[in-house]
Amino acid sequence: MSKKHFSVAIDGPSGAGKSTLAKAVAAELGIVYVDTGAIYRTIGCYVYDKQVDPKDAEAVTALLPEIKIEMQHGEDGLQRMFLNGEDVTTKIRLPQMSMYASAVSAIPQVRTFLLEMQRELARTHSVIMDGRDIATVVLPDADVKIFLYADAEIRAQRRTLELEQRGTPQPYEEVLRDIEARDWADSHRETAPLRPADDSIMVDNGDKDFEQSKQFLLTLIKDWVGL
Ligand code: DC
């Protein structure tokens, strides 16, 4: 475990392999992995349960004071999410929560509501944080900023396999359609759209397998941080 305090931002479109890689790299470096998508999914989950339109900014904003989100990082590196005390770690991964998360994440009040929680984690721990706006908004002073991407078709193939393994299968065509729709929504919203920071390191993950990508990121981070 490194004694040095540092932060790594990993942004990129959905299904680029951010979470799997960030989690493995964090374990190797002995630092905390923060999946910020899970936080937006947790808000999406609450909005879904309340049967509120996730695009209705006013209605969603009115729900925010009722929401208490907690995160726990277990020994196994798994990030458990709690919504008003209920463990929603599995529920937030249901396919319908993806679009809800994407829709609520476009609402500026939602982003402001979650900003301090994310920054606080990086202040108190060395972190690898993955999301869409980590390098541009949440941690603009991160020690390393990585933008991880891959073609939509490759990402859809990987996500289809992942959903199958989780026991929540979905046809490839549907997964691809969802990924393309989310790419568009996440990168065209007005507040904190998905884009690399000027000093992000661009990493194409489409032509590498998991081990190659992991080693590549580890070397990159160690070089930049000076570990
Ligand atoms: O990474 P994910 O697929 O679990 O994220 C779910 C949604 O949350 C995604 O469509 C966009 C949004 N999100 C965001 O706007 N900003 C982040 N930092 C992380 C996720």
CB atoms within 10 A of CB 90: 12
Question: Residue 6 Cα, ligand 1 centroid: separation in angstroms?
Answer: 23
Residue among 172, 218, 155 nearest 16 (CA): 155
Tell me which of 15 and 154 has the higher pLDDT: 154
Which ligand 1 atom is at minimum distance from the Cα of 185? 10
The yes-or-no verdict on residue 74 having pLDDT over 90 is no
Question: Residue 131 Cα, ligand 1 centroid: separation in angstroms?
Answer: 6
- Nearest-CA residue for atom 3 of ligand 1: 14
Question: Would you call 49 helix, strand, or coil by DSSP?
Answer: helix
- Please report the pLDDT score of residue 73 as a whole number: 85
- Please report the pLDDT score of residue 91 as a whole number: 95
Distances (CA, A) of 30 to 27, 75, 109, 131: 5, 11, 33, 20
Question: Residue 95 Cα, ligand 1 centroid: separation in angstroms?
Answer: 13
What is the spatial distance between Cα 105 and Cα 88, in angstroms, rounded to a whole number? 18
Assign 2 a pLDDT band (cuts: 50, 70, 90): low
Assign 75 a pLDDT band (cuts: 50, 70, 90): confident
Q: Considering only CA atoms, give the Rg of the chain.
A: 17
What is the spatial distance between Cα 79 and Cα 87, in angstroms, rounded to a whole number? 11
In this prediction, residues 1-10 reach a mean pLDDT of 85
The phi, psi pair for 129, rounded to 5°, reads: -115, 130
Query: Are 43 and 104 a contacting pair, CB within 8 Å?
Result: yes
- Among 76-85, 104-113, 173-182, 218-227, which stretch is predicted with the lowest mean pLDDT? 76-85
What is the spatial distance between Cα 158 and Cα 109, in angstroms, rounded to a whole number? 32
Residue 147, H or E segment: strand 144-149
Tokens matching residue 93:
């991964």
Query: Are 54 and 103 a contacting pair, CB within 8 Å?
Result: yes
In this prediction, residues 47-61 reach a mean pLDDT of 98
* Tens digit of each residue's pLDDT (9 = 90 or more) over 149-201: 999 999 999 889 988 998 889 999 999 999 999 899 989 989 889 999 999 99
| 109-147 residues labelled b (16+ CB within 10 A) or e (exposed) | ebbebbeeebeebbeeebbbbbbbbbbbbbbeebbbbbb
Tell me which of 95 and 140 has the higher pLDDT: 140
3-state helix, strand, coil split of the chain in percent (to 5) is 55, 15, 30
The binding-site residues of ligand 1, defined as CB within 6 angstroms of any ligand atom, are 14, 36-37, 40-41, 101-102, 105, 131-134, 182, 186
- Nearest-CA residue for atom 10 of ligand 1: 102
Question: Residue 212 Cα, ligand 1 centroid: separation in angstroms?
Answer: 25
Question: Residue 37 Cα, ligand 1 centroid: separation in angstroms?
Answer: 4
Question: Would you call 12 helix, strand, or coil by DSSP?
Answer: coil
Q: Which of 69, 132, 139, 183 to mutate to test the pocket of ligand 1 (most atoms within 8 A of CB)?
A: 132
In this prediction, residues 120-147 reach a mean pLDDT of 96
Residue 200 is classified by DSSP as P
Question: Residue 176 Cα, ligand 1 centroid: separation in angstroms?
Answer: 17
Residue among 131, 139, 120, 128 nearest 199 (CA): 139
Residue among 155, 132, 47, 156 nearest 91 (CA): 47
Question: Residue 12 Cα, ligand 1 centroid: separation in angstroms?
Answer: 9
The yes-or-no verdict on residue 3 having pLDDT over 80 is no
* Tens digit of each residue's pLDDT (9 = 90 or more) over 101-119: 999 999 999 999 999 999 9
- What amino acid is encoded at 169 in this protein? P
* Tens digit of each residue's pLDDT (9 = 90 or more) over 26-40: 999 999 999 999 999
- Nearest-CA residue for atom 17 of ligand 1: 131
Which ligand 1 atom is at minimum distance from the Cα of 105? 15
The pTM is what?
Answer: 0.91
Calculate the average pLDDT of the chain: 93
- Please report the pLDDT score of residue 15 as a whole number: 86
